[in-house]
Structure 1
Amino acid sequence: MGSIRTVEIRDDMIRLGQFLKLAGLAEDGGEAKTLIEEEEVTVNGRVETRRGAQLHDGDVVAVGENKARVITA
């Protein structure tokens, strides 16, 4: 099982599409959109299909074995 990386954000929340890029789980917005549309992204263990879904401190986003946790600064 892969380890969970922590990724710090400046605000109270970040949108899923932005976080995928920031965390390095997607190379760009186009890849983020495709991953989300193909239901390859989970948030806290549940498939998330909304690119604009709001993520908050402690949320865990996964693409395959790669996982990243949202941490607010």
Structure 2
Amino acid sequence: MPRIEFPLDGHPFVELHQLLKLAGLVDSGGAGKHLVASGAVHVDGAVELRKSCKIHAGQVVVIDDVEIDVVD
């Protein structure tokens, strides 16, 4: 499974749909919202349907076979 390490760079959190965009998995925030709404995104092992869910350091987001590790 490919892994991406995503640093928050001093920010307390990133919204889920923006994380997908910033990590390069979708072309836009809108595409990220659609992907989340489809049920294809897991946060810490559970399906996440909230597009603007706040993702903090230490959480793991999985889409298909890509894992995003969110770090400080």
Q: Deviations over 1:31-57 (max 9, x none)?
A: 101111110001011100001101111
**Superposed structure 1 runs of 4+ greater than 2 Å apart:** none
Computed over aligned residues only, the root mean square deviation of the Cα atoms, in angstroms, reads: 1.0
Give the secondary-structure state (helix, strand or coil) at the position aligned to 2:36.
helix
Equivalent residue, structure 2, for 1:21: 21
User: Any gaps of 5 or more consecutive residues in structure 1?
Assistant: none
Partner Cα distance (1:33, 1:68) in 2: 17
5+ unaligned residues in a row in structure 2: which ranges?
A: none
SS of residue in 2 equivalent to 1:20: helix
More strand by share: 1
Residue 6 of structure 1: aligned partner: 5
Shift of 1:9: 1.3
Q: Cα offset for 1:4?
A: 2.1
Q: CA deviation at 1:30?
A: 2.0
In 2, Cα distance between equivalents of 1:26 and 1:61: 14
The sequence identity of aligned pairs, in percent, is 32
Name the counterpart of 2:45. Answer: 45
